[in-house]
Amino acid sequence: MRAVLPLLLAGPLFAAVPAHAAPAHRAAARTAALPVPVTMVGDRATTPPGGSFTVTVTLTNPHDTPIRFVFQSVQQTYDTFTDVEYAGLKYAATACNGVPGQSACGNPQAGGHGALFTLPLAPGASTSYTLTYTVAADSACGSGLNVDLYSYVYYEYQGGAAANDGQAGVHGTDVLCS
């Protein structure tokens, strides 16, 4: 109780402090009207249980200043989640940039993987990384079972004064019985 008491007393004090809004230049510079310059490409249309497939994620800088910060998560789509939960689809990330066992590229998120881009990224330049997934040998398979992924991306350019965010997706692979 003694450890909790200071927290209980501090709560009302912090509640009385006015919240600070984000700087106006950041709020005004953020735009979702721009397309997110990320592409995701799977290397196999179909993968049998026990097989693997790789997704290449590429970021291209369309701006006239370097991209200096990127936050990204790569996660399964809702349909893939329901296939995992209800149909018995089993798969796991097994490598990042070809390194076995490194399932979290960069910033691990709950159930996802983060960006591993080379930064800063010069105007017009591109950078990529790969995620390899393995379908379990005892996974369910058949028509309609697939691993699809999507990515949320947030990045900053113009020295952090401008930002953009959005989503990109990829049809990873259909899990067909061999």
The DSSP output letter for 160 is G
Q: Which of 60, 40, 70, 25 is nearest to 164 (CA)?
A: 70
Q: Identify the pLDDT of residue 103.
A: 55
Task: Kindly state the average pLDDT of the residues 28-40.
Answer: 72
Which residue is listed with tokens 């040998």? 137
Q: Identify the pLDDT of residue 178.
A: 80
What are 8's two structure tokens?
């209980």
Distance CA 112, CA 93 (A): 9
Q: Which of 117, 147, 164, 169 is nearest to 51 (CA)?
A: 147
What are 68's two structure tokens?
């200096």
| 3-state helix, strand and coil shares in percent for the chain, rounded to the nearest 5 | 15, 40, 40
Stronger pLDDT, 67 or 107, i.e. the higher one: 67
Enter the pTM of the model.
0.76
Cα separation values, 131 from 20, 96, 136, 155, Å: 39, 5, 16, 20
pLDDT at residue 156 is higher than 80:
yes
Distance CA 15, CA 123 (A): 44
Task: Kindly state the average pLDDT of the residues 133-141.
Answer: 95
Task: Kindly state the average pLDDT of the residues 70-85.
Answer: 90
- The DSSP result for 51-100, as a single string, is -EEEEEEEEE--SSS-EEEEEEEEEE-HHHHHIIIII---EEEEEETTEE
Helices and strands per DSSP (H, E), number in the chain: 3, 9
Task: Kindly state the average pLDDT of the residues 26-45.
Answer: 75
